[in-house]
Amino acid sequence: MLNDRSMKLLFFICLIGGFFSCGGNSESDSSSKKNILENLKVSIDSIRIDVGEEIFNAGAYYGSTLSADEKIGYRLYDPKKEIHEYDLEGLKLRAIHPFESDGPNAIPDYVNYFQSLPNEEFFMANDAQAGVFSLSGENKLKLKIQRDNVSGFDPEASFSFANNMHISPDKKKIISLPNTFTGPVVGLAVIDIESMAGKLRAIPALDLTNGYNITFQQGNGITRSGDFHTLQIVNDQFVIYSGATSDIYTYDWNTDSLKLRTFPHQLVAKAKTGDFPTVVDSNERRWELGKEMRKQITFDKFYWDESRKQYFRLGSVTNEDDSIIYLFAYDEEFNLQGETELAGLENIPYQTFFRNGKLFSYYTVEENPALIQFTFDF
């Protein structure tokens, strides 16, 4: 049984005492408000999770989500079609819940979207299937979200609803970013599940994203990389964002309201600039262009910190030899409150979540699940 909660990862040894200071070169925004991250300090720890006698490949998780109270972490274990339930307060594996791969209660193969819902239910979807499942494995709501059974959209337009598909917490709406097979996102789709009627909402502030993703096609295979439109649910509302710009849209599913939000960044550019080819004839060219694009700011997803009533966001600029990681802070209304460089951090953490004022990143230590914990003091 693993219960060592204080082991430091080797690549953090250089952070003596576990602390590094940030800020110093940050500037206040155009309204001269205080930069709350100016004197930020960050501590980093690695925490092993107790999995008892269970044996599995901790690197084979295919999705993760949190319970509404942030006390439970759910991880989708693809090899055996299971949900692993983690107690995030006791730092241990609490239960393993099996699901079916065939029959009326079968979950989708290769789940692309995994979302927790109230009452221990989960939305799971891929490009062809979608449904709501209970933790006991029952298919509670079967969904067929294809063009031929959804009204309200241009019948001549060719696109799929499957891209970034989510469901509202009350299970009444499907929200997604429909696109064509190789083309750009056409807007925000909102579909009423009962009537199977929907509408397309324009999100033009993110159109520049289309100039910063690259497609390489070889035979029937297509590889795309760069910046893309992304939909996430955070603090009970949806955020539509892109790595190419700091501008975002928020969609309140309760009131059906869509709002553009812009930010007066001073430390970083507000968006990428320049012209890049979006279709290339080799994988090598795709990699080269991707490296050039990443030399400009790339914005990441949002986190909600219930303890502070604030949103946070990370960003990065990657040069030939190193990366600069940035942290941005916002109030409840998405007003920018602070921005700073996170000196000493080489990459944006992977598979992350926020709880109790701290950022956590899933990690694997000696084939066992672990967490890297980032504590922000400001």
What residues make up the domain containing 153?
A: 144-202
- Beta-strand pair 113-117/121-125: antiparallel
> Length of the chain in residues, anyone?
378
Number of domains in the chain: 1
- Confirm whether 169 is domain-assigned: yes
Q: Is the pTM of this model over 0.95?
A: no
- Confirm whether 168 is domain-assigned: yes
Quick one: tokens of 149? 């059974």
Which pLDDT score is estimated for 22?
A: 53
Which pLDDT score is estimated for 308?
A: 97
Strand order through the sheet with 72-77 = 61-66, 72-77, 82-87, 92-98
- Confirm whether 190 is domain-assigned: yes
- Confirm whether 176 is domain-assigned: yes
Which DSSP string corresponds to 70-110? Answer: SSEEEEEEGGGTEEEEEETTTTEEEEEEE-BSSSTTBPPSS
Which pLDDT score is estimated for 8?
A: 38
Confidence of residue 88 (pLDDT cuts 50, 70, 90): very high
Which pLDDT score is estimated for 180?
A: 86
- Confirm whether 72 is domain-assigned: no
Q: Which of 108, 104, 191, 98 is nearest to 140 (CA)?
A: 104
Mean pLDDT of 290-311: 97
Mean pLDDT of 272-286: 96
Which pLDDT score is estimated for 2?
A: 38
Tell me what the pLDDT averaged over the chain comes to: 90
Backbone angles phi, psi at 286, to 5 degrees: -60, -45
Please, are residues 375 and 363 in contact by the beta-carbon 8 Å criterion?
A: no
Confidence of residue 193 (pLDDT cuts 50, 70, 90): very high
- Confirm whether 197 is domain-assigned: yes
- Confirm whether 161 is domain-assigned: yes
- Confirm whether 159 is domain-assigned: yes
Mean pLDDT of 199-213: 97
Please, are residues 276 and 212 in contact by the beta-carbon 8 Å criterion?
A: yes
Residue type, 174: I
- Beta-strand pair 245-252/323-330: unpaired
Query: Using one digit for the tens of pLDDT, what is the confidence trace for 142-192?
Result: 999 999 999 999 988 889 999 999 999 999 999 999 998 777 999 999 999
For 2-16, 40-54, 247-261, which range has the lowest pLDDT when averaged over its residues? 2-16
Residue 43 has pLDDT above 70, yes or no: yes
Element (H, E) at 310: strand 310-318
Tokens 């994988």 -> residue:
283
